Structure 1
Amino acid sequence: MSGDTPESTTGTPDLPEASGPARAKDTPAVRDTLPVRAELRGKSPYGAPQLDVPVRLNTNENPYPLPEALVERIAERVREAARGLNRYPDRDAVALRTELAKYLTRTGGHPVAPENVWAANGSNEVIQQLLQTFGGPGRSAIGFEPSYSMHALIARGTGTDWISGPREPDFTIDLAAARRAIAEHRPDVVFLTTPNNPTGNALPASTVRALYDAAQAAKPSMVVLDEAYVEFSHGDSLLPLLDGRPHLVVSRTMSKAFGAAGLRLGYLAAHPAVVDAVQLVRLPYHLSAVTQATALAALEHTGTLLGYVEQLKAERDRLVAELRATGYEVTASDANFVQFGRFEDAHDAWRRILDRGVLVRDNGVPGWLRVTAGTPEENDAFLDAVREVKKELSA
């Protein structure tokens, strides 16, 4: 889940200070008196700026609207679901989990049954449910940063101690250092993200296998493999690693490849015992009938939607090539975004690009910015902007 909402990593430096509805003048004073838990004091809410500019490439959204045939099918399914809204929805989302299992089996290179699948309101709720089940007070989770910041934020929100593991300067994971960190801290949950957000690089299967073994040697731990962007990867899903690894969870989202960020539908694949355990903390009837109906309609159109993914992969690769040709450093990307730099002052560069009508993401990774792959026209506008900024900063 590196996610299914606008992503970030170590902070939100490009978030406007005043956003959202107007607040009462005494809000700061009252806030200081609230008995907020200590680990939440002084923290900022997650988010990315939503600015009215011609080109917005900062939240890793799929730029292509849903095809009209799918929109009509959603309307049909929702109309049907609306006739029963006086009743609670299917608590276990059996039909949806069945279709998600078929999709994973067809595209992931590994057979998945409905009892291996769980779904929730975005992959962030999947993460939250996993941490409520396997983390919590007196327990800890580790991730290797920079990575998807919601792992740490949800850990703190569930009372789980957060451990920031190391990455190399090129944003890969140093296997020996990661093993040492797991052996030292003995976390209850290990987060691995591939492709990683915000850097875009993918993990080899050998690294996941090694860190899974390290986690089980330290003590029986859950390993969460966040594959939010895997459909954009040059390689294959690591879903087959579930075989023989009952403590491994693969999390996914419909926000990116399915172009359904507004749907809020995330899901996981794991051993049936993990799915059973997560249901201990799920809220009653947590997935609405409308959400289930919409997701089922989208799954009927995976061929068309994955065709858009192929277009975005080509545009992503074009961004990488053009940025490098312009003189920028670029992290190899297997996602629908590209991390580029290096800047002496990344936020200044972000502002210069914004001044040219293009919004990208300043995640707080020193020296780097991130751009989402958009339509060809949006990407052309971005490339024109960064070429001008390159000349300006080099003058």
Structure 2
Amino acid sequence: MISLDDLPLRADLVGEEPYGAPQLDVPVVLNVNENPYPPSPAIRQEMAAAIVNAAGTLNRYPDREARALRADLAAYLGHGVTADQVWAANGSNEIMSHLLTAFGGPGRKVLTFAPTYSMYPEYARNTCTEYVTVPRRDDYTLDAELILGAIAEHQPTVVLITTPNNPTGTTVPLEVIDEVCANTDAIVVADEAYQEFSSRPSALELLAKHPRLVVSRTMSKAFALAGGRVGYLAATPAIVDACRIVRLPYHLSAQTQAVARVALAHADELLAQVRALTAEARGFEAWARTHGYAVVDSGANFSLIGRFPDRHQVWQALLDRGILIRETGPAGFLRVSAGTPAEMASLKEALTDLEPERQP
């Protein structure tokens, strides 16, 4: 047997660990921003029937262009978006990998604003793209002056603007994205993985105006399809074509496409849970404020609370009670995904019992 150290691993991968939040079997799982409500039995039955139907042609490769799925996604997005403006992939992770493979690479930079999604540097590393971050404002917001100043300084080919931002939940006004797109030739990606939970308008409104704008989405959160692995983007057809060049052939299975189309056909029912989860998140934040926690204003289905002098100790104490949240984000903060009313009640009770000391 040999170890990883004995293999000719790429130099920039030496010492790296696989990405992933803990996957633990505990009663209350609130750590990865999943939707706690599975599809209804009726929708599950329809998904099962769709998979059975797809199984009749599993001896053949799936539609590598996912044309029917892209048409359904375009209809869901609205805003005049057409199927040839949509690209779908294995989660928004693969969408970002396609974009950086196409527009990043050696000698190029991707720019984003910290703190933000912890997978971004891995997309950059895997595509040999230089990863550059600039700090957000003290309240974790962004404005056009900050973004454009960073673009002028670093000259990236891709700019990632996450709204709502993970892990802070802060949003970026549409006018900021508009101004940035009007003043750069970079590919500007508005990562809207949590858009359905936000009251802010979508950057989809700007697509017709800015041909280098990309709006990235996922079905993992609002559509309760994290296990289905479907992410997608909307952009000009030329950007879609660039993704088609770098994609692996047949990257979306027939089963995945079939299940996603059933979910989209029942968008109204599935999105009804979005309103419930948004209310839970905002309600938890109100509770946290009244109990002396610092809370970052969020437009997503998660909340960032603090400040804890030893956040890992609090994280572990909650885990010991069967409650899993996320140790991520700025120092002294913990991130809580919105769960069911019973799950949120368990968390509040545990936090009350723990009474951790907080920084001023």
- When the two structures are superposed, what TM-score results if normalisation uses the length of structure 1? 0.88
Residues 1:96 and 2:61 are matched in the alignment: no
Residues 1:227 and 2:159 are matched in the alignment: no
Residues 1:357 and 2:322 are matched in the alignment: yes
What is the aligned counterpart of 1:162 among 116, 119, 131?
131
Counterpart secondary structure, 1:294 = helix
2:165 aligned partner: 196
* Closer/same/farther in 2, CA of residues 77 and 60 from structure 1, 3 Å limit: same
Contact residue 166 and residue 177 of structure 1 kept, 8 A: no
2:283 aligned partner: 318
Contact residue 189 and residue 214 of structure 2 kept, 8 A: yes
Identity over the aligned pairs, expressed in percent?
52
Q: Please report how far the alpha carbon of residue 352 of structure 1 lies from its aligned counterpart in structure 2 after TM superposition.
A: 2.0
Counterpart secondary structure, 1:293 = helix
Distance 1:35 1:210 in 2: 46
2:298 aligned partner: 333
Distance 1:171 1:368 in 2: 13
1:112 aligned partner: 81
Q: Please report how far the alpha carbon of residue 174 of structure 1 lies from its aligned counterpart in structure 2 after TM superposition.
A: 5.0
1:18 aligned partner: none
Q: Please report how far the alpha carbon of residue 241 of structure 1 lies from its aligned counterpart in structure 2 after TM superposition.
A: 1.3
2:272 aligned partner: 307
2:15 aligned partner: 42
2:146 aligned partner: 177
Distance 1:326 1:140 in 2: 43
Distance 2:142 2:13 in 1: 28
Amino acid at match of 1:282: R
Amino acid at match of 1:142: L
Q: Please report how far the alpha carbon of residue 277 of structure 1 lies from its aligned counterpart in structure 2 after TM superposition.
A: 1.4
The within-5 A match list for 1:263-302 is 263-302=228-267
Distance 1:304 1:259 in 2: 11
Contact residue 118 and residue 275 of structure 1 kept, 8 A: yes
What is the aligned counterpart of 2:214 among 241, 249, 265?
249
Distance 2:199 2:193 in 1: 14
Counterpart secondary structure, 1:258 = coil
Amino acid at match of 1:208: I
Counterpart secondary structure, 1:96 = helix
Contact residue 166 and residue 178 of structure 1 kept, 8 A: no
Counterpart secondary structure, 2:71 = helix
Contact residue 231 and residue 257 of structure 1 kept, 8 A: yes
Counterpart secondary structure, 1:280 = helix
Counterpart secondary structure, 1:244 = coil
2:50 aligned partner: 77
Distance 2:69 2:16 in 1: 36
Amino acid at match of 1:335: A
Q: Please report how far the alpha carbon of residue 34 of structure 1 lies from its aligned counterpart in structure 2 after TM superposition.
A: 2.5
Counterpart secondary structure, 2:87 = strand
Amino acid at match of 1:78: I
The Cα offsets for residues 262-291 of structure 1, whole Å up to 9 and x where unpaired, read as 000000000011111110011111111111
Distance 1:57 1:111 in 2: 36
Amino acid at match of 2:335: R
CA RMSD of aligned residues (A): 1.4
Distance 1:355 1:364 in 2: 22
Contact residue 308 and residue 357 of structure 2 kept, 8 A: no
1:383 aligned partner: 348
Distance 2:280 2:168 in 1: 17
Distance 2:35 2:259 in 1: 17
1:9 aligned partner: none
Contact residue 162 and residue 192 of structure 2 kept, 8 A: yes
2:174 aligned partner: 205
The Cα offsets for residues 329-377 of structure 1, whole Å up to 9 and x where unpaired, read as 1111111100000111211221222222211100152010000000000
Amino acid at match of 2:288: L
Counterpart secondary structure, 2:12 = helix
Structure 1 residue runs of 5 or longer lacking an equivalent are: 1-23
1:13 aligned partner: none
2:357 aligned partner: 393
1:4 aligned partner: none
The Cα offsets for residues 174-204 of structure 1, whole Å up to 9 and x where unpaired, read as 5433322210110010000000000011111
Q: Please report how far the alpha carbon of residue 170 of structure 1 lies from its aligned counterpart in structure 2 after TM superposition.
A: 1.4
Amino acid at match of 1:38: A
Q: Please report how far the alpha carbon of residue 135 of structure 1 lies from its aligned counterpart in structure 2 after TM superposition.
A: 0.5
Distance 2:162 2:212 in 1: 16
Distance 2:227 2:338 in 1: 18
Q: Please report how far the alpha carbon of residue 252 of structure 1 lies from its aligned counterpart in structure 2 after TM superposition.
A: 0.4
Q: Please report how far the alpha carbon of residue 113 of structure 1 lies from its aligned counterpart in structure 2 after TM superposition.
A: 0.5
Distance 1:381 1:223 in 2: 41
Q: Which moved more, 1:45-54 or 1:304-313?
A: 45-54
Counterpart secondary structure, 1:370 = strand
Q: Please report how far the alpha carbon of residue 231 of structure 1 lies from its aligned counterpart in structure 2 after TM superposition.
A: 0.3
